[in-house]
């Protein structure tokens, strides 16, 4: 069985060597905690738990208490923060996102699914996997899938991430047995939504794309043909220090606080 996710397919397409370090050689001990990833983790976990309360109990006080509880579980140097001042800045940013969400979004929704991993068998022993943030029922009986983004909005990355939206629609439809008529990214910092209505043909094309990508990756596994492809995101790669091609190209590690659009 081979498990494929949108992020796994995207990593291989961007740089097969990064994929090799992550999934074949499993050099994940080289990964360092990053402040912006900690922020994202706490915001996602807070919203997941918030929507597990009945609508009448979803108050600003509840949201803040959940956030504070999650932050206490992971903070300080082990979460990537180099100082108390830096941590407070990120904490304030996260709270601002949550307050904006409370003010600008429907908090009375009764989700059919909240954040968890889901999977869908494809063919040739391939399984599509992914983490869905939320799936809500719509009045016509169909479903809207929502993915929270704590990074900066980017037209370029929103278009490149269309397979991610299609994957979420496929996974939700498989899990719920209902049509997904809307799937969207919600950029929490700007309270901005990027949404699409997946047509059956687009979903089938995405499904075939994940099968094709998986077979390509499996063939590369067998031949160990997983070369480096130096690219502008190399400074943020956890494996830069063991990648001679990226070093030869002159890339230096980005500061841990410096954020890439691609998260």
Percent with pLDDT over 90 in the chain: 87
Q: What is the mean pLDDT of residues 108-127?
A: 95
| pLDDT, tens only, 56-73 | 999 999 999 999 999 999
In which band, very low, low, confident or very high, does the pLDDT at 255 lie, cut at 50, 70 and 90?
confident
Of the candidates 2, 1, 9, 10, the residue with the CA atom closest to the CA atom of residue 262: 10
Q: What is the mean pLDDT of residues 30-48?
A: 95
pLDDT at 245 over 80: yes
Mean pLDDT score of the chain, rounded to an integer? Answer: 92
Contact 22, 138 (CB under 8 A): no
Q: Which residue has the higher pLDDT, 145 or 254?
A: 145
pLDDT at 116 over 50: yes
Please state the domain extents for the chain. 2-26+110-223, 30-104
Contact 48, 115 (CB under 8 A): yes
Report DSSP state, residue 73.
H
Q: What is the mean pLDDT of residues 210-222?
A: 96
Question: According to the model, what pLDDT value does residue 259 have?
Answer: 60
| pLDDT, tens only, 174-196 | 999 999 999 999 999 998 999 99
β-partners of residue 148 are 186
Q: What is the mean pLDDT of residues 1-25?
A: 96
Q: Give the up-direction half-sphere exposure of residue 27: CA atoms within 13 A in the CB hemisphere.
A: 14
> What separation, in Å, do the N-terminal and C-terminal C-alpha atoms of the chain show?
28
Percent with pLDDT over 70 in the chain: 94
Stated pTM of the model: 0.90
How would you label 49-67 residue by residue, b for 16+ Cβ within 10 Å and e otherwise?
A: bbbeeeeeebeeebbeebb
In which band, very low, low, confident or very high, does the pLDDT at 162 lie, cut at 50, 70 and 90?
confident
| pLDDT, tens only, 234-243 | 999 999 999 9
């Amino acid at each position: 069985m081979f498990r494929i996710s949108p992020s796994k397919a995207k990593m291989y397409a961007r740089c097969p060597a990064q994929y090799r370090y992550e999934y074949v050689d499993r050099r994940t001990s080289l990964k360092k905690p990053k402040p912006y990833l900690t922020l994202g983790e706490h915001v996602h976990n807070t919203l997941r738990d918030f929507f597990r309360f009945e609508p009448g109990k979803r108050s600003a006080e509840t949201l803040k208490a959940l956030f504070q509880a999650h932050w206490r579980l992971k903070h300080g140097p082990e979460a990537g923060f180099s100082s108390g001042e830096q941590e407070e800045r990120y904490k304030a940013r996260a709270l601002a996102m949550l307050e904006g969400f409370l003010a600008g979004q429907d908090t009375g929704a009764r989700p059919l699914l909240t954040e968890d991993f889901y999977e869908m068998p494809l063919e040739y022993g391939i399984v599509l996997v992914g983490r869905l943030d939320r799936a809500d029922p719509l009045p016509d009986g169909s479903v809207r899938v929502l993915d929270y983004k704590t990074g900066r909005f980017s037209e370029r990355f929103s278009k490149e991430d269309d397979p991610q939206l299609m994957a979420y629609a496929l996974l939700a439809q498989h899990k719920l047995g209902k049509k997904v008529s809307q799937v969207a990214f919600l950029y929490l910092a700007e309270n901005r939504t990027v949404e699409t209505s997946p047509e059956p043909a687009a979903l089938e094309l995405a499904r075939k794309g994940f099968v094709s990508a998986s077979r390509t990756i499996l063939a590369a596994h067998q031949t160990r043909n997983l070369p480096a492809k130096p690219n502008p995101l190399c400074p943020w790669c956890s494996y830069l220090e063991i990648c001679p091609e990226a070093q030869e190209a002159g890339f230096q590690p980005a500061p841990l606080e410096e954020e890439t659009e691609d998260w």
